[in-house]
Structure 1
């Protein structure tokens, strides 16, 4: 760190001359990436392009040992930098040389390289570590879930902190190689394509690769005993689904839902354009939590999502995120509507396709269910605040906003927007304002007022989701669409 000293007279001048001219240019990278919802998330000063994780996990003890290699580029002259991580670290090397390190702030690994990094310089960062992820609590919870036969890493907005060091924010996406060794008879499931597996001395190593940019929270690991099914899409992409062997009464319903992944993805390509990744599938571990998560290429599903029978709607939701949330990720967590409003609306479109209620019928029913004085309408989907980031209004009022947009600009422009947006911002990040600007350009229609009404005003919009097409038909709650119960069953999708 460059420090300014107040020293009198000639002594001050001689000290300044003794400092190399470039020394003043080196500063620490920020301990956060600048997201106001989560100030501690991510880090400043560098970008990661690739993670290579080589792990060993023992289910019986929950001991995870790892060596993480990060390939990064300095965005400024760096005297030191931070990674987000919570487990005990044994050694850090930067560009092959040992680096000083310290754990600070509960989830920060502060690294001081032997030689400062200059702006634009490539760096390899190797971190050796070990610990029990389920014992690590940050803000009172853990993103690592123990199961009867292993463990699972899946959570939003953060999960990497519990099992590998990273720049843990969607703004810094990277490719991944994840290699995991587990006891024979146990499998390790992760993102992307299984490149290979091999056994030696009672251990089996699984090597997974994700070759497209991936946000840290979308990276997943599941270790346990699974029944695995494989297939290929009509376009030849590999499908891999995995189900814990001890799902009990939920096993059949889970399979009846997740095994339709290829069919749902094929339908979604007609709505959102070409599937953006090199693999797809899903997994259902034996966890006690109730949520599902759009982990890239291989969504995580709690068995509780299928407690009342098969529910393809939740599969539609998580697969829609592969376009809206995974390929195009939020610029900041306040932009969560870009993820959740569209995933929920995809469920409405699936209902429309299946003849179980049109999107308009679902919008009318939802709008009528909440009176004007209900707190539901006080949540602003366009900027809900960290406490309401996964509030039902972000999903449901967010979907109502899309129905209002559809009614305003018509089906031709509306579906052109839905398909064009993921292509325009593929593998990048975007904001709610970016979407508004894009929709205005494609439809050649001023839309700022519409989006302000539906996304940013803390009150019930007048006239309902049908208002853009005509007056409200009735003050009475319309008949409940047949798909409503299955859609509503996914309302716990992101509850911890």
Structure 2
């Protein structure tokens, strides 16, 4: 549920002799007493200015026009929301140039503030619980806009891409940019004929007129703002269906060069992998599936909902099915169940990395146990790797290798601690319990205790929250090998390790 920042209304009993004063008080507009601005941040300690308070968005309708030659984006965003307090003013997260804002049909005052805030003052204050329609008209060149010294918009030779984590929306639509406020989406994009626009969900229709083609996409399940994506360029597009009947749309830039074959050889296995993952995580939770590989110099991949983004660099050394497994695992762990706060990132990344370990087992290239043993053995106690706490890594280490590898190691230790039956019931039950919502590491621990019937506070503290390597006794207790590398019986390097390690930078953003 979105964080609700309500205003407190104080009441008092008025004596009869104070009637005249009471009448005078009643004449004062309610806004003077109880209406206040929504908070400029939703309350996440990692990113205090991200998201906003005072309202909850239920739907985004984005009608856009994009010119690849100039990178000019023109848009009208319509947001359907409901106030969660008596609201005098509220913010959206946005960096592009705004020409007009309307709230419930009436023109509203607005101004840019801070690095990425759009402050909106409606003509009349908005009582708590009010349904609100906000329309924002804008036009800009996204690649020229920066916040905090970076951009979440990426130019390509034939277009542009909106894809980044933990922020991406600011560069192409105004939003309440935090995973706590999920919404559904309609994204309609007009581009010159011969160019395609790719987004989340299902392609509802395409319409061509006067040299422009409009693509209409719909994402009909709750979706976090950073998981919304837009890619414009010239793509080869493939379509199909999974064995379970989900339609698949994949897109590849025509100018991927030597990476083209490896990219297709990997991403075309999307349907197969999603069906395989459903055996561990439960039924695939959306009505669309796919992936896209634009010609971008960006090195990371991202789990944009229903249609992950992959950088060509992920396929520079050949096919890389492991990265596809990682991003598709996020459709359950990260997308279906999103973080309650960014400190809960382990629930995204530790589980997606563990899915890669399960795929390694599936391919006969090393079991999850062998991979866990290797991780534990290959990092000595004085390695800085162990100083990062996957359960609360801090904003500077949100995508540190330890969140992935130490995070997956913790899951194998948990599997050994509670047994396969309870562990795999956990993997499948968690996405079902919090489907289309948000949850924390603390909630996962409580659920693990419920399913396994065991107290796990000390276990989670050791494996996720201590800034040190779990000791020999803890490792042995969790059936993790403690033999030093090079000694007899020490863990070897599993065959899949090189492929998995090639995805270590999967969510790193060096341009930031």
Same fold (TM over 0.5): yes
* Structure 2: segments with no counterpart, 5+ residues: 1-6, 9-20
Partner residue in 2 for 1:288: 297
Which of 198, 219, 222 pairs up with 2:207?
198
Aligned 1:54-73 pairs, distance under 5 A: 54-73=63-82
- Aligned-partner SS, 2:420: helix
Are the counterparts in 2 of residues 178 and 207 from structure 1 also a CA contact under 8 Å? Answer: yes
Aligned 1:156-305 pairs, distance under 5 A: 156-305=165-314
- Aligned-partner SS, 1:288: coil
Asked if residue 106 in structure 1 is aligned to residue 119 in structure 2, the reply is no
Runs of 4+ aligned residues of structure 1 deviating over 6 Å after TM superposition are 12-15
Are the counterparts in 2 of residues 367 and 465 from structure 1 also a CA contact under 8 Å? Answer: no
- Aligned-partner SS, 1:270: helix
Partner residue in 2 for 1:485: 498
Report the alpha carbon displacement of residue 15 of structure 1 after superposing the two structures with TM. 7.8
Asked if residue 389 in structure 1 is aligned to residue 398 in structure 2, the reply is yes
- Shift in alpha-carbon separation, 1:471–1:230, aligned structure 2, 3 A: closer
Q: How many angstroms apart in 2 are the aligned matches of 1:383 and 1:442?
A: 23
Which of 456, 472, 478 pairs up with 1:463?
472
- Shift in alpha-carbon separation, 1:494–1:13, aligned structure 2, 3 A: same
Partner residue in 2 for 1:368: 377
Asked if residue 352 in structure 1 is aligned to residue 361 in structure 2, the reply is yes
* Structure 1: segments with no counterpart, 5+ residues: 3-11
Report the alpha carbon displacement of residue 469 of structure 1 after superposing the two structures with TM. 4.5
Asked if residue 495 in structure 1 is aligned to residue 508 in structure 2, the reply is yes
Are the counterparts in 2 of residues 198 and 204 from structure 1 also a CA contact under 8 Å? Answer: yes
Q: How many angstroms apart in 2 are the aligned matches of 1:21 and 1:14?
A: 13
Report the alpha carbon displacement of residue 474 of structure 1 after superposing the two structures with TM. 2.0
Normalised by the length of structure 1, the TM-score is 0.96
- Aligned-partner SS, 1:446: coil
Report the alpha carbon displacement of residue 126 of structure 1 after superposing the two structures with TM. 0.2
Are the counterparts in 2 of residues 231 and 240 from structure 1 also a CA contact under 8 Å? Answer: yes
Partner residue in 1 for 2:319: 310
- Aligned-partner SS, 1:301: coil
Which of 33, 41, 45 pairs up with 1:24?
33
Report the alpha carbon displacement of residue 472 of structure 1 after superposing the two structures with TM. 3.5
Report the alpha carbon displacement of residue 13 of structure 1 after superposing the two structures with TM. 9.7
Q: How many angstroms apart in 2 are the aligned matches of 1:169 and 1:278?
A: 23
Q: How many angstroms apart in 2 are the aligned matches of 1:156 and 1:356?
A: 31
Report the alpha carbon displacement of residue 139 of structure 1 after superposing the two structures with TM. 1.0
Asked if residue 93 in structure 1 is aligned to residue 93 in structure 2, the reply is no
Partner residue in 2 for 1:137: 146
- Shift in alpha-carbon separation, 1:423–1:17, aligned structure 2, 3 A: closer
Are the counterparts in 1 of residues 73 and 139 from structure 2 also a CA contact under 8 Å? Answer: yes
Are the counterparts in 2 of residues 407 and 466 from structure 1 also a CA contact under 8 Å? Answer: no
Q: How many angstroms apart in 1 are the aligned matches of 2:78 and 2:448?
A: 40
How many pairs align?
488
After superposition, the C-alpha distances for 1:453-494 in whole angstroms (9 at most, x for unaligned) are 011000000138852344745222521101001100001111
Are the counterparts in 2 of residues 400 and 465 from structure 1 also a CA contact under 8 Å? Answer: no
- Shift in alpha-carbon separation, 1:66–1:355, aligned structure 2, 3 A: same
Report the alpha carbon displacement of residue 234 of structure 1 after superposing the two structures with TM. 1.7
Aligned 1:315-464 pairs, distance under 5 A: 315-463=324-472
- Shift in alpha-carbon separation, 1:464–1:235, aligned structure 2, 3 A: farther
Q: How many angstroms apart in 2 are the aligned matches of 1:282 and 1:472?
A: 37
After superposition, the C-alpha distances for 1:37-70 in whole angstroms (9 at most, x for unaligned) are 0011000000000000000000000000000000
After superposition, the C-alpha distances for 1:118-154 in whole angstroms (9 at most, x for unaligned) are 1111010000000011111111110100000000000
- Aligned-partner SS, 1:50: strand
Are the counterparts in 2 of residues 404 and 467 from structure 1 also a CA contact under 8 Å? Answer: no
Aligned-pair RMSD on alpha carbons?
1.7
Are the counterparts in 1 of residues 376 and 480 from structure 2 also a CA contact under 8 Å? Answer: no
After superposition, the C-alpha distances for 1:274-323 in whole angstroms (9 at most, x for unaligned) are 00111000000000011000000000000000111001000000000000
Are the counterparts in 1 of residues 153 and 162 from structure 2 also a CA contact under 8 Å? Answer: yes
- Aligned-partner SS, 1:490: coil
Report the alpha carbon displacement of residue 20 of structure 1 after superposing the two structures with TM. 2.4
- Aligned-partner SS, 1:318: helix
Report the alpha carbon displacement of residue 445 of structure 1 after superposing the two structures with TM. 0.7
Q: How many angstroms apart in 2 are the aligned matches of 1:169 and 1:380?
A: 22
Normalised by the length of structure 2, the TM-score is 0.93
Report the alpha carbon displacement of residue 353 of structure 1 after superposing the two structures with TM. 1.0
Q: How many angstroms apart in 2 are the aligned matches of 1:48 and 1:15?
A: 37
Are the counterparts in 1 of residues 416 and 479 from structure 2 also a CA contact under 8 Å? Answer: no
Q: How many angstroms apart in 2 are the aligned matches of 1:365 and 1:298?
A: 32
Q: How many angstroms apart in 1 are the aligned matches of 2:263 and 2:477?
A: 39
Q: How many angstroms apart in 1 are the aligned matches of 2:481 and 2:292?
A: 43
Report the alpha carbon displacement of residue 93 of structure 1 after superposing the two structures with TM. 0.4
After superposition, the C-alpha distances for 1:344-369 in whole angstroms (9 at most, x for unaligned) are 00000000111100001001111111
Report the alpha carbon displacement of residue 328 of structure 1 after superposing the two structures with TM. 0.1
- Shift in alpha-carbon separation, 1:174–1:487, aligned structure 2, 3 A: same
- Aligned-partner SS, 2:259: helix
After superposition, the C-alpha distances for 1:54-102 in whole angstroms (9 at most, x for unaligned) are 0000000000000000000000110110000000100000000100101
